[in-house]
Amino acid sequence: MRNRFAKILATLGPASRAPDTIRLLHEVGVDAFRLNFSHGSHDDHRSNIETIRRIATASGRPIAIVADMQGPKLRVGELGDGLELRYGDTIRIRETDTASDGEIVHPHGELTAILKPGLVLKFDDGKLQVTMISDSEARVDVPGLLKSRKGINVVNAVLPMSAMTDKDRADMAFALDHGADWIALSFVQNAQDVRDAREIIGEKAGIIVKIEKPSAVDDLDDILHHADAAMVARGDLGVELPLEVVPVVQRRIIRKGRELGKPVIVATHMLESMIDAPTPTRAEASDVATAIYQGADCVMLSAETAVGRHPATAVAIMDRIIAAAEGDPILWEYIHQTELPHKASAEDAVSRSVKTIARTIDAKAVFGYTRTGSTVQRIARERPPCRIIGLTPNDAIAARLALIWGSYPVVTEDPASFEDMLGRIRDLGQAVGLESGDRIIISAGVPFGIPGTTNTLKIDTIP
């Protein structure tokens, strides 16, 4: 088992797609891999999925696969050698598929529909900015050279478009057919985007909503209600929101995810300097630790592992930062003082009791039987100070649980009886490194094998 509770999600790319590199990344700390469908072919992603599954089988440890959809990314059209935007100049913005001298062109009718005076557009990840002064003309606020195909961000406006493009639907069908455990939706604007995705995905995979639009922040509660997890996508979020607001929003998303028992991933620029350098900056190390102190379930590496020069080192350093933060007693004081809302249900009563019992008896692990993964997620929400061994007969659920805080998923058949359950867990405890005399907690539903019946807690000792 890892020497930490929070999980590491790493992006695969040219620097890390070799099977030996993927295996090394898993060995040094990666719990889940992100396949970025903005890049690469279906053949590339198929090969990566097959490699990950082989590594998971060989290691005996399930690995989560996150298929990240590209989403409706707005981009400028062809601008030849580029268009120089000069401060204070008035520039025309026109919808067209062909290049035009002296104009910003784009192919997006959805953008044309909302252009109006006062609307702010940012280009190239916020490096350039204009403010609309009419439906088709804008004033340059932040000058620079605008090149072809650079991204467009619309500040404080809801675009009349779905979070899923035709490409996303094709990519999503491919990912589901090949067993992706999580689907990440890009540029979600409201809860309807999540409901639309659910009609396609159903329960075949968990849905991660990437919070990167101000409108998604405004509709956060409803969005998270319909999603299974969230990602704080700080790249685009930091372009469309004032930079000083992003840390506040990050903390809010983590808090809301914790309340709902849904994992939150903090992403973008975590160890950015390690794309080239063999060590991160001290500020980057603090950024990772801050996410852990705030209660993040998972932290993500993007370009650091996809195209960086030191992918395995980046993972190893992130692993050490997480372990150091989790070794601070102050973190656990904060966790234990945090009051969470609870339902009047047996499941919440059991999961809440697990944390109290684990602290009282210094339990080394809690074993939770689950068919849907919900039992493990409810226990993880409470942050017990011990490992959570998720026991499930479903390979897909086990892989999905690899992304959940503190969880160590194990594929096993449902027990035939209470005595059979105790015997299996005692043997399994020794197999996962527990020692004779270690106290453990067992959470299960009786009768066995029926989803949604978690109603039993048992305190036991490894023989």
57-76 pLDDT tens trace: 999 999 999 999 999 989 99
Range of the domain at 417: 342-461
Q: How confident is the model at residue 361 (pLDDT cuts 50, 70, 90)?
A: very high
The answer to whether residue 439 is domain-embedded is yes
- Which ranges in 202-299 belong to alpha helices (H)? 214-218, 220-226, 234-240, 246-260, 282-294
The answer to whether residue 60 is domain-embedded is yes
For the chain, the domain total comes to 3
> Mind listing the pLDDT tens digit for each residue in 200-245?
999 999 999 999 999 999 999 999 999 999 999 999 999 989 999 9
For position 451, what pLDDT does the model report?
72
pLDDT at 101 > cutoff 90: no
> Mind listing the pLDDT tens digit for each residue in 4-38?
999 999 999 999 999 999 999 999 999 999 999 99
Quick one: 318 and 231 in the same domain?
yes
Judged by phi (left if over 0) then psi (alpha if -120 to 50, else beta), residue 444 lies in beta
> Mind listing the pLDDT tens digit for each residue in 386-409?
999 999 999 999 999 999 999 999
For position 298, what pLDDT does the model report?
98
Q: Single out the residue in 269, 293, 328 at which a domain terminates.
A: 328
> Mind listing the pLDDT tens digit for each residue in 134-167?
999 999 999 999 999 999 999 888 889 888 999 9
For position 344, what pLDDT does the model report?
81
Q: For a pLDDT cut of 70, what percent of the chain falls above it?
A: 99
Distance in Å from the first CA to the final CA of the chain: 20
Quick one: 413 and 286 in the same domain?
no
CATH number at residue 379: 3.40.1380.20
Does residue 382 sit in helix, strand or coil? helix
The answer to whether residue 448 is domain-embedded is yes
Q: Please state, in angstroms and rounded to a whole number, the distance separating the CA atoms of residues 17 and 23.
A: 10
Residue 239: which of 348, 123, 358 has the closest Cα? 123
Quick one: 175 and 58 in the same domain?
yes
pLDDT at 453 > cutoff 80: no
The answer to whether residue 239 is domain-embedded is yes
The answer to whether residue 48 is domain-embedded is yes
Quick one: 145 and 282 in the same domain?
no
For position 362, what pLDDT does the model report?
95
Quick one: 258 and 298 in the same domain?
yes
Quick one: 406 and 346 in the same domain?
yes
Does residue 35 sit in helix, strand or coil? strand
CATH number at residue 136: 2.40.33.10
Quick one: 405 and 369 in the same domain?
yes
Q: Single out the residue in 328, 354, 381 at which a domain terminates.
A: 328
User: Which residues are marked as active site?
Assistant: 34, 75, 210, 268
Q: Single out the residue in 271, 294, 328 at which a domain terminates.
A: 328
Average pLDDT, the chain: 94
Quick one: 149 and 190 in the same domain?
no
Quick one: 242 and 273 in the same domain?
yes
Long-range CB pairs of 430-436 (<8 Å, 24+ gap) are 430/462, 432/1, 432/365, 432/387, 432/389, 432/408, 433/1, 434/364, 434/365, 434/462, 435/364, 435/462, 436/462, 436/463
For position 452, what pLDDT does the model report?
66
Quick one: 105 and 221 in the same domain?
no
CATH number at residue 184: 3.20.20.60
Task: Give the strand pairing for 83-85 and 7-11.
Answer: unpaired
The answer to whether residue 336 is domain-embedded is no
pLDDT at 363 > cutoff 90: yes
Quick one: 447 and 350 in the same domain?
yes
Residue 174: which of 266, 73, 48, 258 has the closest Cα? 48
pLDDT at 379 > cutoff 80: yes
For position 418, what pLDDT does the model report?
83
> Mind listing the pLDDT tens digit for each residue in 264-318?
999 999 999 999 999 999 999 999 999 999 999 999 999 999 999 999 999 999 9
The answer to whether residue 410 is domain-embedded is yes
Quick one: 314 and 241 in the same domain?
yes
Which has the minimum average pLDDT: 116-120, 199-203, 313-317, 445-449? 445-449
The answer to whether residue 200 is domain-embedded is yes
